[in-house]
Structure 1
Amino acid sequence: MARYRTIGVIGGMGPAATADFLGRLVAGVNAASDTDHPRVLVDSNPHVPDRNAAALTGADSPGPALAAMGAALVAQGAQLLAMPCNAAHGWADAITAAPFVSMIDAAIAEAMAHQPRCIGVLGVGATLALDLYGRASPVPVLNGDLCVVQPAVNAIKAGDRSDAVRERLAGEAARLAAAGADVVIAACTEVPLALTQADVAVPLIDSTAALARATLAAARLPDRVQP
């Protein structure tokens, strides 16, 4: 049976994406019983200052709220922190209370396993404005059209996972592939709630799933040596 450090989740951005991440953590454990799973502490806080407004208009920074959430989770016993929100990684440097698993690095690592010459990114305003994937990627990055992706993400946040929303995202992924992207990253945690690999002709990297896998790998403790 694998043993894990206690995981703290800085979430709520948005709540449905956080719930999806928690489901990925559960699914990612080869569990035979409840006790095979890691302990997970969650702060799902939908009132963190808006990441897009902070990056695009200079509104209140989410950094202090993220730092406080991380510190509170550690005070409750978290030994490792993860944050299922791509855009909030623009302020990840504020999270210093415990080792932090980067969603950006996890998604780039999975994208690079496909040996792409170019990566397409379906992200929202802060993610693109702060060039989070461009700064992390060793190959060129093509950003999706914010005028397509942002309204689709807003719709998903409002509970709309209709074919119309999925088709808009699929169309933008197809445009990126036609422009030279060998891999497309679903670089907003709402995107995988509507868009799947079946909708995209090139490999689609689900940043939520990538973070879940990276978090479990980082949290896993070494196996006990048998006497």
Structure 2
Amino acid sequence: MTCIGVLGGMGPAATVDFMSKLVELTPASCDQEHLPVVVANLPQVPDRSAAILGRGADPLPGLRRSVEILNEAGAGVIAIPCNSSHHWYRELCELSLAPIIHIVHACIERIPAGARRTMVLATRGTLASGFYQRELEAHGQHCVAPDPVRDQPFVDDCIRRVKAGDRAGAAASLQVMLDHAKAEGADVVILGCTELPLAAAAGTDAHGMLLIDSSLELARAVVEYGLRSGWNHG
């Protein structure tokens, strides 16, 4: 049976959140109308952001092993609910037997016409990789990143607290960053790390800015792909 493949485990809570969104977005009235999904939940993949910054082990072998598992499972499309892993998107596409939906492309679809200033909140590795900046600018968006000294520590702390299970503390750090984004004139904020939506859900004020949940948009794109392919009908 052809299925959706999820390259997960980075982190586990973000993967569970992504799976929950897949289920919620699928129009189904019974079990049999849901989309088949296989998840490779391998949290031992080395830290992606540290590797991009030259401070940690190479995660690519672990990412490739997950793709191989999903190939063997018959995945017809693959989603990676970890933004930093998209630094190795090209290498993973070369190995995958199925298309891999790029998380940035899914987010760009939700940016409204007329948006002037889009801020990306993400790991230091994702920002250093530059794939968000390149894709957004290619689509005519003015992309800004948090100030690395004043603002990024709040993003770092938010992600760390989600991974440690402290969502209330994570929400407090994210709120500081959203306050700064509003002060800098952002009208769109992309939550470009799949831990950040978990913090936002714990209680934050977006000050009227549009928050784009990268996990939700990736799930939306994957569900649409699966429904178009008829995988919910067996």
Same structural fold, with TM-score higher than 0.5 when normalized by the shorter chain: yes
Instruction: Indicate which of 11, 15, 24 corresponds to 2:21.
Output: 24
Amino acid corresponding to residue 61 of structure 1 in structure 2: D
Gaps of 5+ in 1: none
Q: Distance in 1 between matches of 2:228 and 2:214?
A: 23
1:182 positional shift: 1.2
Match of 2:195?
190
Q: Distance in 2 between matches of 1:221 and 1:109?
A: 18
1:71 positional shift: 2.0
Instruction: Indicate which of 50, 60, 72 corresponds to 2:69.
Output: 72
Change (3 A) 1:94 1:58: farther
Instruction: Indicate which of 155, 172, 175 corresponds to 1:170.
Output: 175
Tell me the SS of whatever aligns to 1:188: coil
Change (3 A) 1:161 1:222: closer
Change (3 A) 1:114 1:171: farther
Q: Distance in 1 between matches of 2:114 and 2:223?
A: 24
1:108, 1:133 within 8 Å by CA — same for their partners in 2? no
1:54 matched to 2:60? The reply is: no
1:174 positional shift: 2.1
1:206 positional shift: 0.7
Tell me the SS of whatever aligns to 1:208: helix
Tell me the SS of whatever aligns to 1:100: coil
Match of 1:143?
145
Q: Distance in 2 between matches of 1:123 and 1:75?
A: 31
Change (3 A) 1:99 1:132: same
Which residues of 2 match residues 1-227 of structure 1 at below 5 A? 5-57=2-54, 59-96=56-93, 97=96, 98-110=98-110, 112-137=111-136, 138=139, 139-144=141-146, 145-162=151-168, 164-196=169-201, 199-201=205-207, 202-221=209-228
1:80, 1:99 within 8 Å by CA — same for their partners in 2? yes
1:161 positional shift: 0.7
1:66, 1:94 within 8 Å by CA — same for their partners in 2? no
1:101, 1:218 within 8 Å by CA — same for their partners in 2? no
2:4, 2:76 within 8 Å by CA — same for their partners in 1? yes
TM norm structure 2: 0.87
1:120, 1:173 within 8 Å by CA — same for their partners in 2? no
1:122, 1:173 within 8 Å by CA — same for their partners in 2? no
Tell me the SS of whatever aligns to 1:31: coil
Q: What is the total number of aligned residue pairs between the two structures?
A: 218
Amino acid corresponding to residue 11 of structure 2 in structure 1: G
Post-superposition Cα deviations, 1:63-98, rounded to whole Å, max 9, x if no partner, equal 232122112211111111000001111111122311
2:117, 2:144 within 8 Å by CA — same for their partners in 1? yes
1:25, 1:213 within 8 Å by CA — same for their partners in 2? yes
Q: Distance in 2 between matches of 1:27 and 1:157?
A: 23
Tell me the SS of whatever aligns to 2:189: strand
| % identical aligned pairs | 38
Amino acid corresponding to residue 25 of structure 1 in structure 2: L
1:64, 1:94 within 8 Å by CA — same for their partners in 2? no
Please give the root-mean-square deviation of Cα atoms over the aligned residues, in Å: 1.8
Amino acid corresponding to residue 67 of structure 1 in structure 2: R
